[in-house]
């Protein structure tokens, strides 16, 4: 969800009804084993705390009020919990599974053990970033030298370079966000690092101030240190950015259907298996 939240249009694509409604019923689309399914839920969300001072039990929007009162996070979380069977069973997981289940995007993963050059990876990630691909990094369970959480997934917001006044690249960075909205990153280009000159700060994408962004869970990892922090990086192939589009649900006997979604199969009489691709 943290990776997805950087792309509002993709978030909206999951919801069949995108506005609040008096019935309190929401339809969400998930991809289960690659196939789109519509999941229907009500708007009853679990809270903890007192009646006068409640707090959301899981997706903690109540701790940081969302713009315009939006509460898509808890609704989406409840829908996925219905798919999994409970909130507890929906906890954790892999980045590639999350992207696939929420969006149906194909994914590919780079592992630290299989990469020869962090510069080569940065150049690839820079290209993917410009194509609006989704990306996130995962940490190992045994810890890391960056001071960030173990067995956790982080969203990669941007891949960019810092240049001197002659236009020569001096540093190549990843802008990363912790969905917990906290960070204890202790590596180079941390918030207190003297490398952050006013000139470099002015080049950070989206107007983010790297000296205070840790308050929102945002931090910056230099290209050469990326695998000191992450053991893998997963990229979601956003085909929408390349002009790909497709209907993901149809009504029975819909006269406006763009394509025919029915298939006829003749099973052979002889013993054997039938495979579909």
Same domain, 218 and 157: yes
- Whether the per-residue pLDDT at 62 is higher than 50: the answer is no
Same domain, 73 and 145: no
pLDDT band at 56 (very low <50, low <70, confident <90, very high): confident
As a whole number of angstroms, the distance between CA 57 and CA 157 comes to: 26
pLDDT band at 262 (very low <50, low <70, confident <90, very high): low
Domain annotation covers residue 223: yes
What does the mean pLDDT of the chain come to? 84
Pick from 204, 103, 217, 212: which is nearest to 163 by CA?
204
Q: Please state the pTM of the whole predicted model.
A: 0.79
The predicted pLDDT at position 121 comes to 93
Domain annotation covers residue 114: yes
CB atoms inside a 10 Å sphere around CB 11? 19
pLDDT band at 247 (very low <50, low <70, confident <90, very high): low
Same domain, 145 and 218: yes
Same domain, 60 and 10: yes
Domain annotation covers residue 271: no
Same domain, 83 and 123: no
pLDDT band at 64 (very low <50, low <70, confident <90, very high): very low
Domain annotation covers residue 10: yes
CATH of the domain at 224: 3.90.70.10
Same domain, 116 and 229: yes
Same domain, 145 and 63: no
Segment 214-232, tens digit of pLDDT: 888 999 999 999 999 999 9
Same domain, 186 and 67: no
Domain annotation covers residue 241: no
Range of the domain at 31: 4-91
Known catalytic residues?
Answer: 152, 178
Percent over 90 (pLDDT), the chain: 45
- Region 27-53: mean pLDDT is 88
Domain annotation covers residue 196: yes
As a whole number of angstroms, the distance between CA 55 and CA 48 comes to: 5
Same domain, 216 and 187: yes
Domain total for the chain?
Answer: 2
Domain annotation covers residue 67: yes
Least confident interval from 127-131, 167-171, 256-260? 256-260
Same domain, 122 and 231: yes
Same domain, 152 and 232: yes
Domain annotation covers residue 226: yes
């Amino acid at each position: 969800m943290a990776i997805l939240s950087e792309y509002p249009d993709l978030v909206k694509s999951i919801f069949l009804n995108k506005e609040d409604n008096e019935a309190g019923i929401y339809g969400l689309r998930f991809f289960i084993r690659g196939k789109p399914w519509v999941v229907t839920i009500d708007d009853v969300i679990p809270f903890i705390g007192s009646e006068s001072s409640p707090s959301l039990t899981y997706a903690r929007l109540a701790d940081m009020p969302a713009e315009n009162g939006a509460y898509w996070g808890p609704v989406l979380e409840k829908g996925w919990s219905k798919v999994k069977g409970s909130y507890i069973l929906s906890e954790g997981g892999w980045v590639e599974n999350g992207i696939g289940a929420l969006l149906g995007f194909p994914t590919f993963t780079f592992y630290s053990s299989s990469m020869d050059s962090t510069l080569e990876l940065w150049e690839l990630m820079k290209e993917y970033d410009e194509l609006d691909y989704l990306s996130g990094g995962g940490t190992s369970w045994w810890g890391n030298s960056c001071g960030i959480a173990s067995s956790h997934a982080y969203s990669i917001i941007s891949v960019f370079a810092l240049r001197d006044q002659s236009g020569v690249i001096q540093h190549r960075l990843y802008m990363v966000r912790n969905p917990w909205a906290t960070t204890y990153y202790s590596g180079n280009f941390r918030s207190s690092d003297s490398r952050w000159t006013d000139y470099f700060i002015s080049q950070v994408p989206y107007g983010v101030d790297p000296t205070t962004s840790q308050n929102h869970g945002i931090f910056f990892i230099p290209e050469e240190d990326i695998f000191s922090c992450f053991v893998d990086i997963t990229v979601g192939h956003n085909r929408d950015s390349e002009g790909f589009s497709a209907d993901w649900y149809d009504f029975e006997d819909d006269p406006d259907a763009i394509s025919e979604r029915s298939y006829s199969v003749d099973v052979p009489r002889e013993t054997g298996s039938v495979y579909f691709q």
